[in-house]
Amino acid sequence: MPTYRPGPVSLVLAALVALFLLLPLLAVIPVSLTPTRMLAMPSGELSLRHYRALIEDPRWINSILLSIRIGVVSSAFSTVLALCFSLGVWMFQPRFTAALVGFVLLPMVVPPVVSAITLYFLLTSISGVSSFFGYDTWLGVAMAHAVMTVPFATVLILVSLSQLDRRIDLAARGLGATVWERATRIIMPNIKFGIVTAALLSFVLSWEEIGVTLFITSVNAITLPRLMWMGLRDNIDPAIAALSVILIIITVLVLAARSVMVRLRGAH
């Protein structure tokens, strides 16, 4: 089978497009090195004071740890819900499958502000019953994030299930396997990549969620995106630029590690 390689013109155009897309991200790097207290390009002198502020200021550390905790809990919760729903729809094929899938995907198509207002009233009502799970609590934020990420996890798992041969499940059922055994020992091992992808996507979406978080938090559950938003709104803190650079570096390292793993897997 012939291998097609892009020509020099295609490579130059691709490089220009990539540079155009990356320039706004690269502009954050010099801003993070400014010695001033405001977001501005450095004028000759460079400083690492804003990177040091990320370590010395407990607000940033606490918000990062809180965002990780919320992301892990909401990712686990949304992945379990999406997996149970997807397995039920795929295995039993109910009559109103399309309607059920559409209902689950509603948070994906409804404007975020509508979901935020609905979750706000729900959590404030729960706060009157329990202060542990409600408005401005980390567990309430995690459950709200799970509501917003379940549709995305469901889509990924349903796509994985659509590529699975149903005859495997039919053979297991014909041999006397129970529903639990079919789901856990036959189907789930064959879609484990989709499950892991759904969990990772749910974590990322929870990590960067800001619209709903602004409605359901006040002073106690300050996630990292909310703290960054407060810094931009109140005092334009350059530490946000330093944090952005760190997140960009982490993203690049993760993508590079994934590329290396794919190459090693292809070589073997």
pLDDT, tens digit (0-9, with 9 covering 90-100), for 19-49: 888 777 777 888 778 777 776 777 777 788 8
Least confident of 40-44, 62-66, 146-150: 40-44
Confidence at 268, pLDDT banded by 50, 70, 90: low
Confidence at 97, pLDDT banded by 50, 70, 90: confident
Longest dimension (CA), the chain: 75
Closest CA to 80 of 178, 202, 164: 202
Whole-angstrom distance, CA of residue 221 vs CA of residue 138 = 5
Highest mean pLDDT among 27-36, 71-80, 257-266: 71-80
The answer to whether residue 54 is domain-embedded is no
The answer to whether residue 96 is domain-embedded is yes
The CA–CA distances, whole Å, from 22 to 10, 194, 234 equal 18, 29, 27
The answer to whether residue 165 is domain-embedded is yes
Q: What angle do CA 25, 29, 31 make, to 5 degrees?
A: 105
The answer to whether residue 16 is domain-embedded is no
Domain hosting 139: range is: 62-248
| CATH assignment at residue 167 | 1.10.3720.10
Highest mean pLDDT among 58-62, 68-72, 240-244: 68-72
Mean pLDDT in residue range 111-118:
87
Tell me how many domains the chain contains.
1
The answer to whether residue 39 is domain-embedded is no
The answer to whether residue 262 is domain-embedded is no
The answer to whether residue 264 is domain-embedded is no
The answer to whether residue 48 is domain-embedded is no
Name the more confident of 237 and 92: 92
The CA–CA distances, whole Å, from 82 to 103, 126, 152 equal 13, 24, 9
Closest CA to 161 of 97, 75, 73, 255: 97
